């Protein structure tokens, strides 16, 4: 149901370095898209990554090695495939 939390596991490549990443995700909505009429879902996901894990160095001490990634996604089914 809505608000359901789950984990999304995958690989992320930054500047040629690939590392496994786990996103904390939440289902924001599911149903017919109000404009397209086709089935749709909406998610939000977050993760905290370390720049150093991807070989990115930080020369300034006030810049954190950790960065927060936030993703908001809305997916709408292709009308041709939905029917």
Structure confidence at residue 34 (pLDDT) = 80
Radius of gyration of the chain (CA): 17
* Residue count (the chain): 83
Say if residues 70 and 47 touch (Cβ distance below 8 Å). Answer: no
Q: How many domains does the chain have?
A: 1
Parent domain of 30:
5-82
Q: For the chain, which ranges sit under pLDDT 50?
A: 82-83
Token pair, residue 3, equals 């608000």
Which residue bears the tokens 């996901």? 45
Q: Which CATH number do you get for residue 74?
A: 2.40.128.110
């Amino acid at each position: 149901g809505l608000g359901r939390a789950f984990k999304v596991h995958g690989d992320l490549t930054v500047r040629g370095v690939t590392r496994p990443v786990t996103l904390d995700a939440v289902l924001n909505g599911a149903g017919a898209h109000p404009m397209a009429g086709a089935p749709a879902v909406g998610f939000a996901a977050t993760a905290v990554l370390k720049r150093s894990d991807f070989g990115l160095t930080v020369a300034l001490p006030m810049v954190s090695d950790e960065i927060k990634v936030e993703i908001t996604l809305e997916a709408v089914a292709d009308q041709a495939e939905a029917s």
